[in-house]
Structure 1
Amino acid sequence: MQGAQRNSLKLLQWMMAASLALPIALFAIASAISYTSTKDTADREIERTLDVAHEHALKVFETIDRSLAELGEVVRGLPDDTIRARESALHRRLKRLADSLPQLKSAWIFDADGKALVNSLASPPPALGFADRDYFYAHVDQSIGTHIGTALTPRPPYQGARFFGMSRRRESDDGNFIGVIQASVLPEYFESFYARIGSDPGSFFAMGRTDGAVLAHFPRLDRDFRLDPGGPVGQKIASSPEHGLITVAWPSDGIERRIGYRRIAEYPIYVSAGFETSAIQARWFATIGQHLVFGIPATALLFLLLAFAFRRTQHLQAEAAARREAEDALKHSQRLEALGQLTGGVAHDFNNLLTVIRASVDLLNRPQLTEERRQRYITAIADSVARAAKLTSQLLAFARRQTLKPEVFDVGQRVQSLHDMLATLLGPAIEIAMRLPAEPCLVNADAGQFETALINMATNARDAMQGKGRITFAVEATTAIPATAAPATGNHGFVRITVSDTGIGIPAARLGRIFEPFFTTKQVGHGTGLGLSQVFGFARQSGGEVTVTSEVGHGSTFSLYLPRVPPDLLPQRHAPNTAPAVAGSGMSVLVVEDNIELANFAADGLTELGYSITLVDNATDALAELVVDADRFDVVFSDVVMPGMTGLDLAKAIRERGIGVPVVLTTGYSQALSQEGAAGFDLVQKPYSIEELSRVLHRAARLRRVRDGAAE
């Protein structure tokens, strides 16, 4: 009996100890899990907020960059005296630009001495010198593209908020420096945006240059601030220069923060977003405090409440994870759906072409094949390759990764050629109708941007119909733009391209804003608001206009007007395979190609035509060959995309060293060419035929002989 009691007492003691130890252990575990979860949640919130800040900054800089490029085109080739004579009109144009972009304080055009020829603030501008400003002297010695300066204070008599400059160099036709085009950007525009999206306690945002100069800061600072590249923040960013998450004491106020940073593509700018670590800890303390309130009264109650709280926390985390996954899925659903449809259509078309090529190859391998059938199969292979090259070219133009420039084309034929791509992009639930003219409607515009504008209007119509309905594309000639549009003139009238849908329509209150950059009626994550602004910018840059008419419940009609050109301007096109190959007659060609199979193909084909071939697999060795003895080569034929020195770099190096050997470049895609163009060098697009290549090489060598003869 006593033994049983002792055992009972011991059991009670164990239970009493357990009633203390188990809740403490559970509380410690729950606290650790909650702390980890709180940190992970904060990191994900920082990443999502950084996505928004990065996208916003990128679009702002791209918009200003395009505006500077347009201003550069407006004054290109104009001497300073002519600009001064047109100062009043240019002032109004700059003022309209500054008024239309809330991020701009002003816009300027300077001469080579730093004197303002025109600005958006005053007409005429005061005779002040600005040659000491970084946005000016950075361009004097060399062309550096777009320069983003440090934060500056307006120079009297100009007043107002601080700004930083975005500027481009003005050059004469021979490349000499003749001035600067500059836009003054307001840091407070970015800080106001950060204040709107950073409503949580402890939120932090910053935007600065790669050299450490801070351009915008939230919470706002009342002084200039620059990060030390050798300090703790600079060292951590240097270890992962593109993007990352760091915990650091921010130098401006010494407050420790969890910060995510990301570099903006093509610009020497970083954006960052984060939280104070004390705010993250406060979230965790708030969660733990809820457990403590219920855990103090009694040990047993504490155990039950902690178990319940732990299960509830797990349930809430699962719900939060499900919500985040749903948000991410909604954010990317439109893009992925359109990309999937487009990819499927492209794969279908390429498989059809590959089927023709494979079948033709199999038939060519059959014995006792007649010459007529052999030629037919070879022609089928050549036609399939040409169609595949055309499809690839359309995709690169659609993605803005191809060297694009204005050209004369028939709008009706171009719209008709986009029918299959539009059908794939819009989906099977969208009925497509086209009303195209029998007569040619020619325009002189960037064909790639025209296709992008048409696709943007079509995608906008699809969204207005929620993916189901009818879109009508119509092309017709017209004499003028309606009076409701901005005034425009055309010697031969205009071509009107209309895109009409059966969607929900646009309220009258929103019609005046739909072409504004970043304005969108879609939910967050479903659109950037840049599609229609691209259409507007393309129309104005091309000398035309875009208008919209809509009635709620009865759909919308977008009309794109482009200046019409006479039919005699349409260039005569000849099939590339109709002209015969040109014999080499001993012509010496230096072939630079890192792909050994393609290099051997070109070398063998040219050798059979009588060319003398020297083959190297990189640009560095090619340049060494030319330095040793350039006279033994009649022409250089180089691929553009190669490791190390590219073909374009090689061509420029040959030009800079004064080597008189002509250069012919080849590529199927090059980011450098899409941004800079071919820099005046001959270009052969891949895939090419030996016949086409021989003609281009022969023409380049012949032009060299003509120039050398004229020089003598």
Structure 2
Amino acid sequence: MQGAQRNSLRLLQWMMAASLALPIALFVFTSTISYTSTKDIADREIERTLDVAHEHALKVFETIDRSLAELNEVVRGLPDEIIRSREPALHRRLKRLTDALPQLKSAWIFDANGKSLVNSLASPPQDLSFADRDYFYAHVDQNIGTFVGAALTPRPPYQGARFFGMSRRRETDDGSFIGVIQASVLPEYFESFYARIGSDPGSFFAMGRTDGVVLTHFPRLDRDFRLDPTGPVGQQIAAHPEHGLITIAWPSDGIERRVGYRRVAEYPIYVSAGLETSAIRARWLATMGQHLVFGIPATALLFLLLALAFRRTQHLHAEATARREAEEALKHSQRLEALGQLTGGVAHDFNNLLTVIRASVDLLNRPQLSEERRQRYINAIADAVARAAKLTSQLLAFARRQTLKPEVFDVGERMQSLHDMLATLLGPAIEIGIRLPAQPCLVKADAGQFETALINMATNARDAMQGKGRITFAVQAAATIPDTLVHVSGSHDLAGGDGLVSVAVSDTGIGIPAARLGRIFEPFFTTKQVGQGTGLGLSQVFGFARQSGGEVTVESEVGQGSTFSLYLPRVPTDLLPQRQAPNTAPAVAGSGMSVLLVEDNIELANFAADGLTELGYSITLVDNATDALAELTMDAERFDVVFSDVVMPGMTGLDLAQAIRDRGIRVPIVLTTGYSQALSQDGAAGFDLVQKPYSIEELSRVLHRAARLRPVRDGAAE
């Protein structure tokens, strides 16, 4: 019961842990999938945004490139003097061009020395040289097509926003360098466009040249910077020059971003778009937060319900424990009450027996006692001893502490042999009916205790009928005990692998009230008047049944009689031993047989030694097993048999016998006991056993039989 309670509490604890662990595990699993999905969605958004940024940049660069090509056609083949003479008209044309293209700040036509021939900003132009600008000197040595320069600050007196130049080489028909046509492009134009398409938190855009020079950046930077070609971005671009997608801490501000890049057609320009990884995580956290809004209350509610169930179960278990403790206390008090009844009953019966013995001894001590009276007193003592032995046997049988002598016998045959004795015991007013099976029903049990149990059940039935009625004895084979029967002695596993044998004793008496069924097997419990019964009869039946691996049940109804059923394990018929004639031989003379007698009770030891000595045995007496083992170790050959008590202080007789076996001392061993816990559980371990109280005649026969079976001593004469 306590194990089941602990298991139920442990189960609730596991359920409480699971109510947290499983949602957490599910949340972690879902979070992982959700984070991967969020990243995939972010990558697709970056790719779409990058497509827009790339298309925009391509159109801007293509438009400016076409405008430069048109300007170049306008001034192709014209000397610088003709261009200066047409400067007002060309100025207006350049101004219309810049006004039409918001991405342009200005447009310029330079001579071979870097001086402005025409520009869209001022007319006439300032006499300044721009030969040191990258958009100019990049074309001096060779024709490189369209050049995109770095971001620059306007040179005074010109003012305004920063720009980067797009330029083409002016050359003669023979390929000689005569100047440059240039357009100043506004980075803020791209920044404005990026601000419009990058409205999501954490959006990022950049545009730069293939050598790492950054032209524009969103969010806007307060300084110019250049990407290291050997750094992570440069290495990624070198590995995948057309396009790619990377996660990196951007060098300009150190913020980690997920960035996609793509080259703008044939131009030496890359555009990139991305999102801050913190913004991606924020999206993921927002999604998971929606799950938590529902998940946390549900999990908390489930955990709370399980916690309440756990506390309620603990409370119920505490109540059950308290109730069980109260029941144990009640049972303990009942056991104490039974112990008091047992003590009083034993004291009463033994005092009666001791009174008979004491009175007989006193009478035997009187002088001039006739032989007839002396024999009568001796018989009275012997009868009292036999009754005391029977009482002790009944007590041990009830306690399941008696060393039984099991043998295989036919229950039906034994019942038939008891018919005459039962008829005498029950009296002429009791009608006896016996129903026996056609096939043998064999059991392995103590035959004497079986007969005692049968007599006790018969006597109990006779008393229930007040000496008049019918008692039926029925023997039959049974597979199991019917569920309808009341197992007054409690349920336990039966040892009947071949089925059971049932011995039922039914009477036509007054029956047993249901309130008393639970106590009828208690020792000294009886409803009879004082002096008419000890209350040990049914307790002996209970003890014998349990110690023999069986069961005893009862069916009773007030006014309709009772049926007591004794169930014993059935054994196969091939185990029935051959019949032997009863042994009625008298005491066997010792003829000098040497006996090592081990007994710690000095009075009993002297009694056994004196009796065996009178029969011609040679006795060596020791009072403990250690001294006996020393005697055998010194010279075992001088002893024909060892006779030892089982219950002794220190080393027991069973330990002594086992030690003699273990040391290879080949001396027969006979044990004796009135009660032994070890023998009642494990048997005599193959040694001969004499039950106390024993007679000298019985002892002499057992010793002689054991010594006669001893192997011939080594070197002994024939």
TM range (shorter): 0.3 to 0.5
- What TM-score results when the alignment is normalised by the length of structure 2? 0.41
